[in-house]
Amino acid sequence: MRTAICSGSFDPITLGHLDVIRRAAACFDRVVVCVSPNAEKQNQMFTPEQKLRLVRAAVAELPNVEVELWPGLLADFARDHGATVIVRGVRNATDFDVEYQMALINRGIYPWLETLLLPAGQEYQHFSSSMVREMIRYRQPMEKYLPMSVVPMVREIMDNEKG
């Protein structure tokens, strides 16, 4: 069984993230989505537990996809799950440079661990989670950016924090 890891902070999960996860699920027997709290990122909107719920809702229709929260090194997560591949989406040259460096680091830790970079679908190249957070903060329509299954959950989270 070929297992791949898709990882990210998913703050929140976007249609672009879901596209990469779906494409990975079509290529591998098992995909484990690693939700990383990523304490280094500023202005996070959702708690790790909220992110986990949102990602699980977004991938619920994909039978070979699992989702877990992981605070440690991605390479260790891959080893613990028997994965030989990390799948990452890239939107542009800047993403490629960052992901290339991470791939070298992960391979330095575990030489058998490969990284597969999937170019973002054309319709998803122009937005990021940070941009989506701004849309959410300013109560803009989310349907163009978020999986439909998570839109009501995001609204509920935002309403609870507002009230």
- Catalytic-residue membership of 81: no
Residue 89 has phi, psi (to 5 degrees) of -90, 145
Catalytic residue among 17, 30, 51, 88: 17
Angle in degrees, 0-180, between the axes of helices 151-162 and 48-58, rounded to the nearest 10: 160
- Catalytic-residue membership of 17: yes
Catalytic residue among 41, 126, 137, 155: 41
Closest to 95 in 3D by CA, of 111, 79, 112, 115? 115
- Catalytic-residue membership of 91: yes
What is residue 68's DSSP assignment?
Answer: E
Structure tokens at 54: 């949102």
Catalytic residue among 79, 81, 91, 107: 91
Rounded CA-CA distance 154/146 in Å is 9
Rounded CA-CA distance 105/162 in Å is 41
- Catalytic-residue membership of 126: no
Rounded CA-CA distance 80/101 in Å is 22
- The letter for the amino acid at 98 is V
Residue 41 has phi, psi (to 5 degrees) of -75, 135
Active site residues: 17, 41, 91, 129
